[in-house]
Structure 1
């Protein structure tokens, strides 16, 4: 698994598609700024610079027929839900098939999967994921967006520290908890990517 971090791009999926020929299964591109993120049916994805996870993942499913491509969507969606369950709880997180992740009635993440077919099989899939992490103001007309910070405004940083950082660094105590958790710290990102790869490899 390789994560390529870039400062800015119009779309992480477009960027990854441009370099996909030389990239291995499990390569991801993550951008701090995404200026023209894409959603389903030509919709755009709003992401305040540096506030959210905007990434695309290259998958090379072996021998998967195009008629079974929905399995990729299932694997990806369930991976994101599995990660979010650690923060929010399983009862609150749900999937609006095929590409939206909701917490109760609010959308927290979106998925766009673009497949390339060679012969009778899918040769590669580029999975675009947008996950709202720290953003608290949404200007687009997207219905009911929400972020982790909005859901857990005072507990968010402490929960993140307790669950993901402190176990590996037990002697380290922060002087103060930061206002935001930078998506570039990569913990939640790595978890999402790893679970997606594992689920697709098990297809």
Structure 2
């Protein structure tokens, strides 16, 4: 995949910019739209994404993943999550970096990034996918309403060149994306995602329908749902927003 960068100063949302390009038949695979500031940045499930201007990576990558069937589109979330996490680990070498299902990026117990996918399906084809990526890179202070937010600079103690970081992220995502063209490559992605999954194979507190329980994440099913085992040994698969991590 050939990566090309479109750099903007201020946008409502880089995902909106990408979707507008698709609607106008201007988009090609590998375009990464980047901004210094998003006025209406969004996270998964409509959550707001807070970011200080010029301090963080705010971008959207356009894909045409026709090789991925719509029912298995979660593989794209795994691709981008691993691609970004791989770069985070290269800068923050002495901490534990993980993906919190489905697509939050954590260093220890601090959220440093997230991914928002918006896909366009035509018939049985995944025509376009837009991966919105937000990573707290050089921002040092966060709102009190975000008690578990952090940044790479908080952990590594140094200013990270944003252009270099952006280029590394694009290259890393592309390396994982190429694996989606083969069955063995997809298996490799799925294995690595599980190995990097936050709280995998650990007993922790979770909440479903306002009921709190102790459970263990044991995997991801073929549709990307989170498989959690309770203390009675029963395994149930959960959709996003159906289960809450109790921190």
Q: State the TM-score bracket (shorter-chain normalisation).
A: 0.7 to 0.9
Q: Choose the corresponding residue for 2:37, options 21, 33, 36.
A: 33
- Is the counterpart of residue 84 in structure 1 residue 88 in structure 2? yes
Which structure carries more helix by proportion? Answer: 1
Partner residue, 1:147: 151
Unaligned runs of 5+ in 1: 157-179
Residue-by-residue CA offset, 1:155-202 (whole Å, 9 max, x unaligned) = x2xxxxxxxxxxxxxxxxxxxxxxx4452xx11111111221232232
Give how far 1:140 is off: 6.0
1:7-156 mapped onto 2 (5 Å cutoff): 7-20=9-22, 21-89=25-93, 92-139=96-143, 141-153=145-157, 156=158
Residue-by-residue CA offset, 1:43-70 (whole Å, 9 max, x unaligned) = 0100001111100000111231111011
Q: How many pairs does the alignment contain?
A: 176
Partner residue, 1:198: 175
Residue-by-residue CA offset, 1:91-134 (whole Å, 9 max, x unaligned) = 61001111101000000111001110011021110000100011
SS of the residue 1:200 aligns to: helix
List structure 1 runs of 4+ shifted beyond 3 angstroms.
Answer: none
Alignment partners' CA distance in 2, 1:134 and 1:118? 39
Q: Which TM-score applies when normalising by structure 2?
A: 0.68
- Is the counterpart of residue 5 in structure 1 residue 25 in structure 2? no
- 1:62–1:182 distance in 2 versus 1, CA, 3 Å: same
Work out which structure has the larger RCO, using CA pairs closer than 8 Å and 6 or more positions apart in sequence. Answer: 1
SS of the residue 1:136 aligns to: coil
- 1:118–1:101 distance in 2 versus 1, CA, 3 Å: same
SS of the residue 1:86 aligns to: helix
- 1:91–1:51 distance in 2 versus 1, CA, 3 Å: closer
SS of the residue 2:91 aligns to: coil
CA RMSD of aligned residues (A): 1.5
Q: Tell me which moved more, 131-140 or 1-10.
A: 131-140
Q: Which TM-score applies when normalising by structure 1?
A: 0.82
Q: Rg: which structure is higher?
A: 2
Alignment partners' CA distance in 2, 1:182 and 1:87? 11
